[in-house]
Structure 1
Amino acid sequence: MQKILFSFLIIFLTVTTASAQVEADTTWRRTFSAGINLNQAAFSDNWKAGGISSIAFNSHLDARADYKLGKTSWDNAVQMQYGLLKNKGEEQRKSIDRIFLDSKYGYAISSDWNTFVSANFLSQFTRGYEYDVDADGNDRLISNFLSPGFLTFALGAEYKPNPYFSLRLSPFAPRFTFLADDAVAANERYGVPEGKSVRTEWLAAMVQATYNRDIFTNVNLRLNYMSYINYEELSGKRIDHMLNSTLTAKVNRYINVNLMANFIYDYDQDSDVQYNQSLGLGILYTMQGFTVR
């Protein structure tokens, strides 16, 4: 735990130093979007074609705050998703739950390449269950906030040829996997050794790629990919992959249709690919590209 706190201190000092260099004419680029989607279906008790009444609620938030002064840059991103589903005759259930924070401090070495140090955090807000695991219909707790939680630091080089695409290559990327809830630990370990609440992977590499662009008029595609490689487990099956994608089509200023999907392959969690997907019509509020001086 002392090593983790020390790593937090190093990142904090780096961020503080960067902030101290900001002058009166510093330029920030900030973007923000938040949306709520509601899906509902209703059937009478004598509806012969079959079906079940249901209501689903999904919310999402995406924000960025990017600073640049000369060759120095500091990029910050927040992505949050949360959703609930209620089918008639069943208890309310969670449909999607994700927290992702990313901060990167970079220094340009050419027009397209930067050296950087970064930190990112991945977890969820609330408890998650595997439902109806036995004949009695009992549920099994398999996740919670910080169970698992992933904190990854990275040092490397970034290729950014344009504003909408970037590729980070990190040959040194230590990661800490947290398992804070003992009730979750009794059912799922997420690679954390028995008797411990934190797994530390010091010798590892990471690859990250982002793409965020309007591919058509009023249609935006955002992709975030992350690959994590533990040098001590160099095997195709042991390389972690994560892909988050969002396709948003604006109907008007506030109404939008969006398709969101997450794909995860992590051998410590499951030997198969995990995925979730949601399609919704809802309200989207955005502020993009505004500049503060």
Structure 2
Amino acid sequence: MKINILFMKHTSLLLFFLLCIFSFESNAQVNLKDLREKPDANIADTDTAKGLTITPINVPIPKLNLEVNYWKHWSKFGVNVNQAYFNEEWNAGGVNSVSLGGNIWHKSEYNRDNFNFVSEIDLRYGKIKNKDQLAKKNNDRIFWDNKLAYKLAKSWALYFSFTFESQFDAGYKYTKRDEGDQVVEVIDTITSNFMAPGYFTESFGLEYKPDNTFSLRLGTGTARQTLILDNRLKPLEGETRFGIEGEGNFKNDLAFQLTANLDRNLAKNLNLKSRYNMFADYKDLKDPDHRLDATLTAKVTSLVNVSLTGIMVYNSDEKPGIQLSQALAMGIVYSLPR
């Protein structure tokens, strides 16, 4: 009986102690929640925010004054000199000679949107003098080509071109005649001169240009005017010269023209430049005119070049056969831009 009473006393004390602890924890939780700081949406103090001022700063932007240049220009000036000498004791044969030649080449190109304009001029003149002979031309050409094109696709364009071709100086045939104890060379007849003949060519058609090194023109609408302004070269009655008949000095032809241009570097210091032109008169398509100019240039130094030039011409109005010309020369060439 005493044990039960003692157990009940201890049990009552334990329950009282647990109730006190529970009551203390509940009050502590309530007090901690009240002590928590509630966050405010306005972080900055209202009075401070109202007094805040922002001063704008103007940053100066410099003017660059940039301009787009749609033009490109290239120029070359060259001089070639060749000389050979043999004394009287030289037994292997040979003729003393000296030759001098010069050439000027310039190209300007304009590109904007789909429009392209190219102007190219090629001027060449040279003479050679052999011992006991008259000085003769070994190079003579005036060539000026202008082309305006409108791009239709990546490699195709409509074009219109204007070309002028002639020469600077008169060309002659030579003969020999006896004068006392020696034979001298004299002029026999004149064969050509400046604007005798002279050619003006206008062409319209399609141009194929896959890259900057090659182009092909198909001139379906082409007109060429041939002029002879030297009266010594005008054809006599019943004769034909340069396709002009019967004492005339002017002729106009309508034709199909094909022109191919190649300007490509075969190696680091080796360049091939060529131009082929075919002119087929609509009156006689079976006998077109052909001209091929090709120049292979090897760059020795920044100023010295070696060039091999070849020309092939077939024009039945001038000569019935094929005309050929070839020259190998070393000279000084100054190019712009450097």
**Same fold (TM > 0.5):** yes
Q: What does residue 217 of structure 1 align with?
A: 268
Task: Return the alpha-carbon distance in structure 2 between the equivalents of residues 83 and 64 of structure 1.
Answer: 22
Cα distance change on mapping 1:195 and 1:134 into 2, 3 Å: farther
User: Following TM superposition, by how much is the alpha carbon of 1:138 offset from its aligned partner in structure 2, in angstroms?
Assistant: 4.2
User: Following TM superposition, by how much is the alpha carbon of 1:134 offset from its aligned partner in structure 2, in angstroms?
Assistant: 8.1
User: Following TM superposition, by how much is the alpha carbon of 1:26 offset from its aligned partner in structure 2, in angstroms?
Assistant: 3.9
Task: Return the alpha-carbon distance in structure 2 between the equivalents of residues 113 and 287 of structure 1.
Answer: 30
Residue 260 of structure 1: SS of its match in structure 2?
A: strand
* Residue 172, structure 1, aligned to residue 224, structure 2: no
Q: Identity rate of aligned residues, in percent? A: 33
* Alignment of structure 1 residues 128-147 onto 2, 5 Å: 128-132=171-175, 137-147=186-196
Task: Return the alpha-carbon distance in structure 2 between the equivalents of residues 133 and 114 of structure 1.
Answer: 55
Q: What does residue 88 of structure 2 align with?
A: 45
Question: Normalising by the residue count of structure 2, what TM-score does the alignment of the two structures yield?
Answer: 0.75
User: Following TM superposition, by how much is the alpha carbon of 1:25 offset from its aligned partner in structure 2, in angstroms?
Assistant: 2.6
The Cα offsets for residues 160-187 of structure 1, whole Å up to 9 and x where unpaired, read as 0000000000011000001110112258
Relative contact order: is structure 1 or structure 2 higher (C-alpha 8 Å, sep ≥ 6)? 1
* Residue 159, structure 1, aligned to residue 211, structure 2: no
Task: Return the alpha-carbon distance in structure 2 between the equivalents of residues 138 and 181 of structure 1.
Answer: 17
Residue 183 of structure 1: SS of its match in structure 2?
A: helix
Task: Return the alpha-carbon distance in structure 2 between the equivalents of residues 217 and 198 of structure 1.
Answer: 47
Task: Return the alpha-carbon distance in structure 2 between the equivalents of residues 122 and 29 of structure 1.
Answer: 24
Q: Which runs of 5+ in 1 are unaligned?
A: 1-23
User: Following TM superposition, by how much is the alpha carbon of 1:104 offset from its aligned partner in structure 2, in angstroms?
Assistant: 0.5
RMSD of aligned Cα (Å): 1.7
* Residue 226, structure 1, aligned to residue 277, structure 2: yes
Structure 1 stretch displaced more, 129-138 or 61-70: 129-138
Larger radius of gyration: 2
Q: Is the 8 A contact 1:173 1:205 kept in 2?
A: yes
- Opposite residue 139 of structure 2, the aligned amino acid is I
User: Following TM superposition, by how much is the alpha carbon of 1:133 offset from its aligned partner in structure 2, in angstroms?
Assistant: 7.9
Task: Return the alpha-carbon distance in structure 2 between the equivalents of residues 275 and 206 of structure 1.
Answer: 21
User: Following TM superposition, by how much is the alpha carbon of 1:275 offset from its aligned partner in structure 2, in angstroms?
Assistant: 1.6
* Residue 246, structure 1, aligned to residue 284, structure 2: no
- Opposite residue 99 of structure 2, the aligned amino acid is A
Residue 215 of structure 1: SS of its match in structure 2?
A: strand
Task: Return the alpha-carbon distance in structure 2 between the equivalents of residues 164 and 208 of structure 1.
Answer: 14
Question: Normalising by the residue count of structure 1, what TM-score does the alignment of the two structures yield?
Answer: 0.86
Task: Identify the match of residue 307 of structure 2 among 249, 258, 276.
Answer: 258
Structure 1 stretches of 4+ with a deviation exceeding 4 A read: 133-138
Residue 173 of structure 1: SS of its match in structure 2?
A: strand
User: Following TM superposition, by how much is the alpha carbon of 1:247 offset from its aligned partner in structure 2, in angstroms?
Assistant: 0.9
The Cα offsets for residues 42-88 of structure 1, whole Å up to 9 and x where unpaired, read as 00122111111000112122211010100011111111111100001
Task: Return the alpha-carbon distance in structure 2 between the equivalents of residues 72 and 47 of structure 1.
Answer: 63
Task: Identify the match of residue 246 of structure 2 among 194, 213, 219.
Answer: 194
Task: Identify the match of residue 78 of structure 1 among 121, 140, 145.
Answer: 121
- Opposite residue 212 of structure 1, the aligned amino acid is D
- Opposite residue 193 of structure 2, the aligned amino acid is N
